[in-house]
Chains A and B, each alone.
Chain A
Amino acid sequence: MSTLTTELKKLGEAKAPAGFAERLLAQVGMTDSYASFGTVLGTVYVAWNRQGISAASRSASAAEFEAWFRNELGRPVVAAAAPPDLAEKVEDELQGRRRMRFDLRGQTPFEQAVLRKTREIPRGEIRPYGWVAREIGHPSAMRAVGTALANNPIPYFIPCHRVVRTDGKIGNYGGGGPEAKRAILTLEGVRLNRLEELARAGVRYQGVKTTKIFCFPTCHTGRRALEKNIVWLHDEASARAAGFRPCKVCRPGAVA
């Protein structure tokens, strides 16, 4: 009698496999899961939870990604098989054909504002840091915008590579340095050489004579203009003096 019940009691001391709780919490979306995806940008590690995509990085290995994630977001991340449709969604998102949900809860309200605003920059276009600062209502916080973008937990998805220096130089990039930034922008169809030429010549805006509207050079509305109608403008004041008004789509200056 006693031996059997003692043995049964011991059976009750079985331990759940290592990592059981973490995998379970990941499954209900309370912990982040991650998987790697082959994308146009190469292999990208992507983490997600119930709120949406929470992080992305082109880490060299799963271990490196896990370490980066823990350091960046201060919580663990668990390897998982991606839901069947996620690979396609990731590719569509990176190609600009889809808008996924993101989990930005770990960011400050200011950082969230910067990241959300950055997300509005269309594929193939770029904006200066100062534009983001002004758009979110902190026109003098350009450096803080730069810092927030440098700490972007979801690069590529939140296109911090589309924010460049106000003087037209490409600026630094947390997602793999300036070279990576160039490569991604080129992939998105931004003609960087031309833009840098314009920047060297001190040109900031493109005006269209027929409409009397000035845009950022990459604005998709301005791209429709005929070459002969384009004038290059150095700053907002001279543009306004010449009778141009800012584009309401790319909002190069304060839209009156």
Chain B
Amino acid sequence: MDGTERLFERMVHEHQNRVFAFGLALTGNRHDAEEVAQDTFLRAYRALVTYPPDRIRDLKQKPWLHQIALNVVRNRVRGNRPRLVELNGSEPDHALGPEDDAILKMEMDALAVRVAALPTRYRDAVVLRHVQELSYQEAADALGQPVGTVKANVHRGLKLLRGDDDEHSDD
């Protein structure tokens, strides 16, 4: 196994939960979240093998993976999704998961549904900042937006989630 493969293996083990959680908050269900996470890492792998060593060394894995995942979610047009090889046993198991507390899991899923239903620009900003706990700067980098825009979108997204959106409902 060469250096890139070892790096990728470490990357998968280190970031799999983070990327899955990201997918869950963006899509609102675990099945899609797994697909997003899978697709994100597959894309990351395909990119890594083409990168020169110094680019791999300087790579900020966390924002980089978030950026890829955002693109994956954006490209998931219903009915025209990139075909993934289905593996046996990859069907999401709703009854049993790594989370021990089933109630906690249900609460998580319920919140994920609400977050995923937000208009895209607020959803992405809120999830990056408050679910994934990236800094405003990292979130802005991942989104390719100015920090001020991200802050405004996070603020508005939180407001929508709290349900005290009394001004307007343009999105």
**Pair A5/B130 contact, Cβ less than 8 Å:** yes
A136 within 8 A of B: no
- Pick the contact of A9 from B37, B93, B112, B133 — CB < 8 Å? B133
Query: Which of A18, A20, A28 is close to B8, meaning CB atoms less than 8 Å apart?
Result: A28
A27 adjacent to B12 (CB under 8 Å):
no
State A9–B18 Cα separation when bound (angstroms).
12
Residues of A within 8 A of B107 (CB): 7, 10
B85 CB to nearest chain A CB (Å): 6
Known: A24-B41, A30-B9. A12 touches B98 (CB 8 A): no
Across the interface, do A20 and B21 meet the contact criterion of CB distance under 8 Å? no
Chain B CB within 8 A of A42 CB: no
- For window 1-58 of A, CB contacts with B under 8 Å fall at 1, 4-5, 7-21, 23-28, 30, 33
The answer, yes or no, to whether B161 is at the interface (CB within 8 Å) is: yes
Chain B: number of interface residues, binned into ranges: 35 or more
A80 within 8 Å of B (CB atoms): yes
Verify A16–B20 contact, CB threshold 8 A: yes
Chain B 120-147, CB-CB to A under 8 Å as 1, else 0, gives 0000001100111100000000000000
Q: Which residue of A lies closest to B131 (CB)?
A: A12
Of B12, B85, B112, B158, the contact of A25 (CB 8 Å cutoff): B12
Choice from B9, B25, B42 contacting A27 with Cβ under 8 Å: B42
15 A-B pairs besides A15-B20, A19-B89, A23-B38 with CB distance below 8 A are A7-B107, A8-B127, A8-B130, A10-B108, A11-B115, A12-B21, A16-B37, A17-B20, A18-B98, A21-B12, A25-B12, A30-B1, A79-B87, A79-B89, A80-B88
Chain B interfacial positions (CB closer than 8 Å to A): 1, 5, 8-9, 12-13, 16-22, 24-25, 30, 33-34, 37-38, 41-42, 45, 85-90, 92-93, 97-99, 104, 107-108, 111-112, 115, 126-127, 130-133, 158, 161-162
A residues sitting closer than 8 Å to B (CB atoms) are 1, 4-5, 7-21, 23-28, 30, 33, 78-81, 83
By Cβ-Cβ distance, the 9 closest A-B pairs, closest first, are A16-B20, A15-B98, A14-B21, A8-B130, A12-B131, A16-B16, A79-B88, A21-B12, A80-B87
